[in-house]
Chains A and B, each alone.
Chain A
Amino acid sequence: MFAYIVRRILATIPVMAVVAIFVFALLYLSPGDPAAIIAGDTATVEDIVRIRAKLGLDEPVYIQFGSWVWRLLQGDLGISIFTNLPVSKLIEQRLEPTVALTITTLIISVLAAIPMGVLAAWKAGSWIDRVVMVFAVLGFSVPIFVLAYMLIFVFAIWADLLPVQGYVSITSGFWPFLSHMILPSAALGMVFAALIARITRASMLDVLAQDYIRTAQAKGLGSQQVLIGHALKNAAVPIVTIIGIGVALLIGGVVVTETVFAIPGLGRLTVDAILRRDYPIIQGIILIFSGAYVLINLLVDLSYTLIDPRIRY
């Protein structure tokens, strides 16, 4: 078991190495002079020279890569071209809203999607099943920002129940925080919830066809006990797996959601960085987001032994 954990943790190293090489190499694989593109169309020669020096583009590639990785390992993500501030500091400033939004969305989606999937599988073929499947198809089809604007229109403008946009830290009260989180979480979580509901339904359908479910029913257990205690417990591994993989959808969606709802988080930072072509910030954000994704999926992998005692390493 311990050996497995160590091996699994070591396995994340090559993955993160590929991510690091990718974000580094992009600067060189892109057609044309990256310094000129980052400087924009109105740049002077001095601007381009300045940016080239700042990115270290005037040194040999292997030296650049070596020193970049060395600084990375020390937690130094480089300096923003536009603001001249360290990227790690900029990311730190914007971290809280994004983490709050992602975790709220994760909780709401999972709490909504798993019961939907369980019900759909239990009443397979009924109208409940149909409604859940329609939700799943729509969840995959309506893009986050389209859904976001529909929600804003109905709940914030027409019904005037929730704020249109903005972010309030949880330190200034739970309801102000939550009221600003409901619409963004609903918009961001739709695809994620659709995915989880779909997999939950599929996994439950498989389990409900097993003999031990019939036995449990035959010995007179209530349907709730059968569904939660016997079926869901055995269907949990694929569901937890898809929650881990689906986090990529949340992370990708954060960029758009924060733009629509004017939330000052990492997504907003990304968009500002694109508009100013501030590549060190984009590099840093990709590394942070991918690191978080790899870490979550590491935890998911390690959780299998807790969920299913049959799985041993």
Chain B
Amino acid sequence: MTVAPSDIALSAPAAPPRVGWRQRAWRYVRRHPTMIFGGVLLLVMLMMAVFAPYLHTVDPQALSPIRRLRWPSAQYWFGTDMLGRDVYSRTVYGARVSLIVGISVALLATTCGLAIGVIAGFTRWVDAIVMRIMDGLMSIPSVLIAIALMALTRASMENVIFAITVADIPRVTRLVRGIVLTLREQPYVEAAIASGTSFPLILWRHIVPNTLPPLLVQGTFVAAGAMITEAILSFIGAGTPPNIPSWGNIMAEGRSLFQVAYYIVLFPGIMLSLAVLAINLLGDGLRDMLDPRLSRRL
């Protein structure tokens, strides 16, 4: 095993220079243009939501009865609806609802799921109870959980976020609990326990950092799903109240007029699909990046 450095240089070809994670990440991103596309698209959507008032929009609630049902034109880019409201302005403002709901649900559901999953993974009796409850909840299609909750609360954006979060928690919990169960058996965790490291410190140093990458990936899919669910709830009249323009609301209002003015449904529908696509592409890319084993398969 004692080889002089000069021998290595002679016998083996020069080892590739070690590259930092920054370079590796950049190289990865260049090889996965769809992820970049998703990221940029999402960024555009976020900018649209933040700067909605400055994007050549008018008050999205402004009624103008004499200008009802105008087709898309230079003045009304996406046309006007049956109350004479500017569909372009409403669609741009609608991005706010969709993104706020998507991001809030993703943050809340992953945080709650992480907390419940860690506790269940470490405490046997909690695990037995909690996982039975989660199994039961997972057999209810999540849209129906959200619908049931919305039927019993007043229509507001907070309640929509709450309802979708509740519906999404079981899946996140199950993911975290599975990871915790395998981590618990790892030698470095056992060593930490044996050497008397306090429990909070073990959580902070070993458990949480190892659950974050899969949680991040799961979080993007939760966000995409939440945006679709919000639109579904608003579309069937159980979501965001009508006085806040959301993509689901706009589509619900254009529903009865679809055959004469399909543009009212079309534009928010395209925006919603693009936003969900952006998040899904980003999520797929993140998953491949964080779990190379899966990238070959899915």
CB interface residues, B 251-292, toward A, < 8 Å = 251, 255, 258-259, 262, 265-266, 269-270, 272-273, 276-277, 280-281, 284
State which of B132, B143, B259 has its C-beta within 8 Å of the C-beta of A157.
B259
Residues of B with C-beta under 8 A to A273 = 151
Residues of B with C-beta under 8 A to A153 = 258, 262, 266
Residues of A with C-beta under 8 A to B232 = 143-145, 255-256
Q: Once the chains bind, are A22 and B140 in contact (CB under 8 Å)? A: yes
Q: Once the chains bind, are A143 and B152 in contact (CB under 8 Å)? A: no
Q: Once the chains bind, are A145 and B277 in contact (CB under 8 Å)? A: no
Segment from A24-32, A83-91, A104-112, A220-228 that makes contact with B: A24-32
CB interface residues, A 1-49, toward B, < 8 Å = 14-19, 21-23, 26-27, 30-32, 34, 37-38
Residues of A with C-beta under 8 A to B258 = 149, 152-153
Residues of B with C-beta under 8 A to A137 = 277, 280-281, 284
Q: Once the chains bind, are B143 and A252 in contact (CB under 8 Å)? A: yes
Residues of B with C-beta under 8 A to A260 = 255
Check if A282 is an interface residue, CB within 8 A of chain B: yes
Check if B93 is an interface residue, CB within 8 A of chain A: no
Docked pose: A204 CA to B137 CA in angstroms? 31
Q: Which of B144, B251, B266, B296 has the most CB of A within 10 A?
A: B144
Residues of B with C-beta under 8 A to A23 = 148
Residues of B with C-beta under 8 A to A27 = 152
Segment from A92-100, A168-176, A284-292, A305-313 that makes contact with B: A284-292
Query: Can you give 26 contacting A-B residue pairs, CB < 8 Å?
Result: A15-B135, A16-B139, A18-B135, A18-B137, A21-B136, A26-B148, A30-B152, A37-B153, A140-B280, A143-B228, A145-B232, A145-B251, A146-B251, A146-B273, A149-B251, A149-B262, A198-B298, A249-B141, A251-B141, A256-B232, A256-B235, A274-B150, A279-B151, A279-B152, A282-B151, A290-B139
Query: Which A residues form the contact surface with B (CB < 8 A)?
Result: 14-19, 21-23, 26-27, 30-32, 34, 37-38, 137-138, 140-146, 149-150, 152-153, 157, 164, 198, 202, 205-206, 248-249, 251-253, 255-256, 259-260, 270-271, 273-275, 277, 279, 282-283, 285-286, 289-290, 293-294, 297
Query: Which B residues form the contact surface with A (CB < 8 A)?
Result: 132-133, 135-137, 139-144, 147-154, 224, 228, 231-232, 235-238, 251, 255, 258-259, 262, 265-266, 269-270, 272-273, 276-277, 280-281, 284, 296-298
